[in-house]
Amino acid sequence: MLTDTGRMRDRMDTAVNAVFEILSFSAIMVLIVVGLGVVASMMGIFNFAHGEFVLLGAYFTYLFNSHGVAVWLAMLLAPLAVALIGLVVEALVIRRFYARPLAAMLGTYALGLVIRESVRGLLGGLYYNVPAPLTGSVSIGGVSFAQWRLAIILITAAVILASGVLLTRTTFGLRVRAALENPALARASGISTKTVYAVTFTFGVALAGLAGALVVPIFSLFADLGLRFLIQAFLAVMLGGIGTFAGPIVGAGVIGTLSAALPWVISPVVAEVLVFLIAIALMKLLPSGIIRGRTA
Amino acid sequence: MQRTKPDREGQARIPRRHVLRSAAWMAGAVATGAGSWVIPARRSFGAAPIKVGIATDLTGAIGIAGNSDLNVAKMCADLINKSGGLLGRPIELHVEDTASNEGIAVGNVRRLIQRDRVDVVLGGITSSMRNAIKGPIVERGHTLYIYPQLYEGGECEKFIYCTGPTPAQQCDDLIPWLVQNSGKRFAFPSANYIWPHRLNQYARNLVQKHGGEVVFEEYYPLDQIDYGATVNRIMTNNVEVVFNTVIPPGVGPFFKQLYEAGFLKRGGRLCCVYYDENDLNINAPQEIEGLASCLDYFRALDKTEPDSAKIQAEYQAMFPDTKYLFAAGSAATGMYRGMMLWAEAVKAAGKLDRDSVAAALDHASIAVAPGGPAEMVPGKRHCRMRMYIAVAKNGSFDIVDQSKGLVDPREC
């Protein structure tokens, strides 16, 4: 029989544990959405292949690591490899869609399908485990936290901060925003919008690659890894609002928190539906997103 | 705000001729049935071949299982033809992809029945696939159907023969073993579809019968990949055995989170009855150390069972570089039993009409199969077989216990 203080401590531990797990999943959600948000907000393109760039990040991490590269180095190289692919894809495919956002959705969806099925072929439909650079856990009180999940929370914060500074405090960021606000004037002022769009897309895709590289030790590598997050990521962007850097990130935070928190209190099957219901209700209440961006 | 660039003239227009050309190409592909093919028998036989339909998931989410099933079917056809065929005739495989998609599957399977007029169909992996294709095969197609995968039981229609393990076969020995070796407090975390629901119902009764208790039974969406709340519940309720039916992709992160929370360190036992050699890669070895599974065949048997070793060696020889393992969880062993039991039935019946073959198949038996001999239970259309309990040790399975003789499926 437990004493009252013992029971109290158990409850405290559970609460601390819950907060950590929810924070950890929200961070993963934010990390995955940030690249999608950059491309959607800065270029007006809904990149349906985003999940597959996440998958590619995971795949390259596995590939480099299985060829003897240390896993932390593989995680740094993977986004670069994904960025290269992104650069090529932008020139071959994405560039043709800037004028047609609707066609862009279909085009990028097809692109995603090609990438996903190619990776499935390479993996033979199997699952592969990728080690985390940090494997131990940290104990605080009676609760132990996985070090890698803790690291992801910190890295996510750093990535958001760095991307935010890049897009809002640097000349490059200014050019990107100028090309977004008024392409004609930007071109007249000597900014090559073509280059800016290419760089922005590549940057967004590299962020997707980084997300994939960082989360693959948690979820293991499989062909549908990116697809798994696609719907939630779009919901996050819609909810947060398009047109600002912060919008999609806040949206991802909300969606991540809801999806991780609800199963603690209600049946997980109901929770999944409820996340969508709450998100739709929020979108009805805040039609231009939680963070008000530009109005179309 | 004006953000749209002017459309480049003419770029959006697709020439009508192109549309016509691709439409014609598409129509041609559909009409000729691209995606289905025939594996003909050798020409040395004088008689016309017997047609065996294989309908399995060669592409899509569970392509990994479907391809190993097809490989096994090819191997069995080869063995049968090398030993003189059936009734003096060779057998010929007609293959259709069910594409992990019931909608596509029904059309493709219909081709086997209506165009190829096969004498038997083997295949289907998920229960939803079996339910989708059994109508076109058995009722409307008047053809015999053999379903090879482990499943939740309850398929009792005439002319459908099941050659994979049932809940009774997977649980009758395993649950008492778990209670004895791991503890009495069970948790049933499960994916929300029919197999876990039915399996849990059966397992729960056994757990209680052997003095254990089910602390909680909970169902999750099939694509859930974060199990923080579940892991916490397992840890705070002092669960000793996690009887898992969560499936990929969720199962990997779930086992990992359990490991990180210290479930294995405090002596907890993982158990997952569909886990075979294919699934050992999902997690790092230490994250699933001690995981118990119960199936009709494991690779580890090759050391002690010469027949199993021979079959595995034949598979390796025929498909030397394949990434599709000959493993029990993907229905490959059920496919072997299905092909060979059917072949025995045809030999015994001496003819090919459905009623005669079904009557012979009803009590067919084979002495050699992966994991040991197998026999149909007369009147039940399910298969008796040996079952093995294996435990994951440093990334591979070790056999720790085996059934006394053949285990009854207890169905129908």
> pLDDT tens digits for B246-269?
998 899 999 999 999 999 999 999
Distance in Å, alpha carbon of B351 to nearest chain A alpha carbon: 40
Q: Do A127 and B282 touch (CB under 8 A)?
A: yes
Chain B CB contacts of A96 below 8 Å: 11
**Res. A110: pLDDT tops 90:** yes
Task: Supply angle C-alpha B90, B91, B97, rounded to 5.
Answer: 155
Average pLDDT, chain B: 90
Tell me the C-alpha distance between A153 and A132, whole Å: 14
> So what's the ipTM on this one?
0.89
Which string of DSSP letters, residue by residue, matches B300-353?
Answer: GGGGT-HHHHHHHHHHHHHSTT-SS---GGGTHHHHHHHHHHHHHHHHHHSS--
B42 pLDDT higher than 90: no
Which candidate from B192, B232, B256 shows the least CB-CB separation from A269? B192
Where is B393: in which H helix or E strand? strand B388-393
A9 pLDDT band, cuts 50/70/90, is: confident
Higher pLDDT, A290 or B114: B114
- pLDDT bin (cut points 50, 70, 90) of residue A241 is confident
The whole-model pTM stands at 0.88
Contact call for residues B403 and B313 (beta carbons, < 8 A) = no
The single-letter DSSP state of residue B274 is T
**Quick check: A144 and B5 CB within 8 A?**
no
Q: Are the beta carbons of A267 and B229 closer than 8 angstroms? A: no
- Which of B4, B226, B278 lies nearest to residue A25, judging by beta carbons? B226
Closest residue on chain B to A227 (Cα):
B223
Q: Which chain A residues in 101-160 lie under 8 Å from chain B, judged by CB atoms? A: 120, 124-129, 131, 137, 144, 146, 149
Q: Side chain identity at A103, as an amino acid letter?
A: A
Provide the Cα torsion A122, A124, A127, A130; round to 10°. Answer: -30
Burial class (CB in 10 A: 0-12, 13-18, 19+), B374: buried
Percent share of chain B, pLDDT over 90: 82
Q: B160-162 and B144-147: which strand pairing? A: parallel
Whole-angstrom Cα distance, residue B195 to residue B54?
23
Beta bridge partners of B241: B186, B269
Beta strands (DSSP E) in B98-184 are 120-123, 144-147, 160-162
Rounded distance between C-alpha atoms, residue B394 and residue B308, angstroms: 23
Q: How far is A125 from chain B (nearest CA, A)?
A: 5
Confidence of residue B192 (pLDDT cuts 50, 70, 90): very high
Which of B223, B228, B323 is closest, CB to CB, to A124? Answer: B323
- Whether the per-residue pLDDT at B3 is higher than 50: the answer is no
Q: Which residue has the tokens 């994991």?
A: B371
pLDDT band at A99 (very low <50, low <70, confident <90, very high): confident
Q: In 10 A of CB A21, how many CB atoms?
A: 25
Residue A6 token pair: 């013992």
pLDDT at B1: 40
Q: Do the beta carbons of residue A61 and residue A71 sit within 8 Å? A: yes
Q: Best residue in A127, A259, A267 to probe B by mutation, most B CBs within 10 Å?
A: A127
Give the pLDDT mean for A78-87: 97
- The residues near B321 (Cβ < 8 Å, ≥ 6 apart) are none
pLDDT tens-digit map of B279-290: 998 999 999 999
Task: State pLDDT tens for residues B129-183.
Answer: 999 999 999 999 999 999 999 999 999 999 999 999 999 999 999 999 999 999 9
CA-based nearest residue in chain B for residue A139: B261
Place A295 in a pLDDT band, splitting at 50, 70 and 90: very low
Read off the pLDDT of residues A32-59 as tens digits, 9 standing for 90 and up.
Answer: 999 999 998 888 888 999 999 999 999 9
Q: What percent of chain B has pLDDT over 70?
A: 90
With tokens 């002017």, the residue in question is: B6
pLDDT band at B204; cut points 50, 70, 90: very high
pLDDT band (50, 70, 90) for residue B9:
very low
3-state secondary structure of A215: helix
Best B58, B125, B223, B225 residue to mutate vs chain A (most A CBs within 10 Å)? B225
Mutate to test the interface with B, among A21, A26, A222 (most CBs of B within 10 A): A21
CA nearest neighbour of A160 among A223, A229, A194, A207: A207
The encoded tokens of residue A183 equal 């392409």
- Identify the burial level of B373 via C-beta atoms within 10 angstroms of its C-beta, where 0-12 means exposed, 13-18 middle and 19 or more buried: middle
Instruction: Give the one of B62, B224, B261 whose C-beta lies nearest to A144's C-beta.
Output: B261
Confidence of residue A3 (pLDDT cuts 50, 70, 90): low
Say what the pLDDT of residue A233 is.
92
Using an 8 Å CB-CB cutoff, list residues of chain B that contact chain A. 1-7, 11-12, 61-64, 67, 192, 218-221, 223-226, 228-230, 232, 236, 248-249, 252-253, 256-257, 260-262, 278-279, 281-284, 323-324
More confident residue, A292 or A72: A72
Q: What is the pLDDT of residues A258-269, one digit of tens each?
A: 999 999 999 999
Q: What percentage of chain A exceeds 90 in pLDDT?
A: 60
Q: At residue A71, does pLDDT exceed 50?
A: yes
Distance between CA atoms of residues A119 and A122, nearest Å:
5
Tally of CB atoms within 10 A around B172: 18
Inter-chain residue contact B232 with A17, CB threshold 8 Å: yes
